[in-house]
Chains A and B, each alone.
Chain A
Amino acid sequence: MSKLNKKLISSVVFVVLFFFILSWIPYARPAALSVLKIPLYIFNGAKRELAGIIFYHRNYVLNGRLTSENNLLRNKFNTLNEIYLENARLKKLLSFKQQSSFKVIPARVIGRSMDSFASVVIIDKGNFNGIRRGMSVITHLGLLGRVIESSKDSSKVMILSDPSLGVSGVVQRTRQEGLVCGTLGMYLIMKYLPQDADIRIQDRVITSGFNQAYPKGILIGTVVEIGNEFSSLGRYAVIRPAANLSHTEEVLVVVP
């Protein structure tokens, strides 16, 4: 066999073997993530301390603002609590079926996807804590994403900014339905709105609960822009997500 043929065969074998390895990488991921969990914890802790030093002044100003906002919200909460109790009493009187509130598992973000447009975060809870693939993930501000992979002690969450994640949403004011998708940027886009859709800037968009993927009524974001689709067949709305998609530290995994 000539030298050229030998080289050709070995190149082909290398390419075939290489593509075989590439296809197996996703199966090796959960084990690799479990191994990296402790180093990720350490690096994440160091990052938090570093961020605290770098952004000291910003945090100081933010603290003052949040304290006053907190006092205002406490006041509002007391009023709303009264309304809530009254609502519960009235519902009982009318024999309405009580809506079951969901159980949540708190988790901490220990890593992010290495791509610039972070669309995946790694959390420190997994199968062992009851987290399963497909569960919704929220923050205290609103919907964050969905669990796409779960190993024994860590999970991968795809966040709303990823274009491959679609959420069925409704405009809270008018119950207009649409599909909310990520754009890899800072905003989300609500598609498939009819031309005559009753939607305005500053409208709040919540999960519709039409499918089992996301519980009903979780805040997705606020409408900041409305436009006509290129085909002129419908309209779209640009949504500012309620949750901070790029800097979230603590999340809640919703157990259905």
Chain B
Amino acid sequence: MKNKLKFLSYILVLGLLQATALDIFKVFNIKPDLLLIIAVIAALRYELKWAIIFSFAAGFFKDIFSAQNFGMNSGLFVMWGYLVYKANKEVSIDYDLIRLALMALVTALNFIFTQAILVYLGNYIPLGVFLRGIILQVIYTSLAFPILYKLIKDE
């Protein structure tokens, strides 16, 4: 239980960092999605029940700061948590490179889904901004993933 509380505190700290200090490291308005990373780490490390709970907590934290009329991130993060957990059960994700590729895939899909929801809600997003955003987001989040994975694993 102590470990789980510790993991929850990671979510809180990373969420606060993402809302404040990470602004310094923005590149073209893009910053790494630390909460998505921690949701994926939860799915790789814990059993299904806790993977879902932690993914939901990370998504909920992100939703607190968003302007959407429903818990878009909570829903998406739980979905990614569940899918990563299932993928981890089906194929062994033990290699760093495979984990990195998985993180990149989840980041890209999450970006596409969130932007698709925004377009569905009637917002106009230029194609150039979308493409630049998805490429940078995938690279930046994937680069931050091994650091966080190692930090949390070493604890």
Interface residues of A (CB under 8 A from B): 18-19, 21-26, 29, 32-33, 36, 39-40, 43-44, 46-47, 50-51, 54-55, 110-120, 122, 148-149, 156, 158, 162-164, 181, 183-186, 246-247
Contacts and interface: CB of A to CB of B under 8 A. Distances in A.
Contact of A112 (B12, B23, B78, B128): B23
B87 to A, nearest CB: 19
Q: Is the interface of B mostly helix, strand, loop or mixed?
A: helix
B124 A183 contact: yes
A230 to B, nearest CB: 12
B99 interface: no
Contact of A47 (B24, B63, B65): B24
Contacts of A21: 71, 74
A116 B29 contact: yes
B121 to A, nearest CB: 7
16 contacts: A25-B60, A26-B70, A26-B71, A29-B64, A39-B16, A43-B16, A43-B19, A43-B20, A50-B24, A51-B24, A114-B65, A118-B29, A120-B67, A149-B67, A163-B123, A185-B126
Nearest to B130: A184
Q: Is the interface of A mostly helix, strand, loop or mixed?
A: mixed
A144 to B, nearest CB: 15
A112 B67 contact: no
A116 B60 CA distance: 17
Nearest to A163: B123
B92 interface: no
A186 B132 CA distance: 12
A114 B75 CA distance: 16
A122 B26 CA distance: 18
Contacts, number: 127
Interface in B124-149: 124-126, 128-129, 133, 136-137
A37 to B, nearest CB: 11
A162 B118 CA distance: 10
B66 A40 contact: no
Interface in B20-63: 20-21, 23-24, 26, 29-31, 33, 35, 60-63
B21 A112 contact: no
Interface residues of B, number: 45
Listed residue (B29, B31, B33, B78) with the most chain A CB atoms within 10 angstroms of its CB: B29
A246 B65 CA distance: 15
B23 A185 contact: no
Contacts of A122: 19, 65
A116 B122 contact: no
Contact of A116 (B35, B78, B133): B133
Contacts of B29: 116-118, 185-186, 246
A164 B21 contact: no
Contacts of A115: 62, 66, 114
A22 B133 CA distance: 26
A90 B73 CA distance: 57
B69 interface: yes
B81 interface: no
B67 A23 contact: no
B18 interface: yes
A46 B21 contact: yes
Contacts of A148: 67
Contact of B66 (A110, A113, A164, A246): A113
Given A25-B70, A163-B124, A183 B64 contact: no
Contacts of A36: 16, 64
B57 to A, nearest CB: 12
B98 interface: no
A191 to B, nearest CB: 9
B64 A50 contact: no
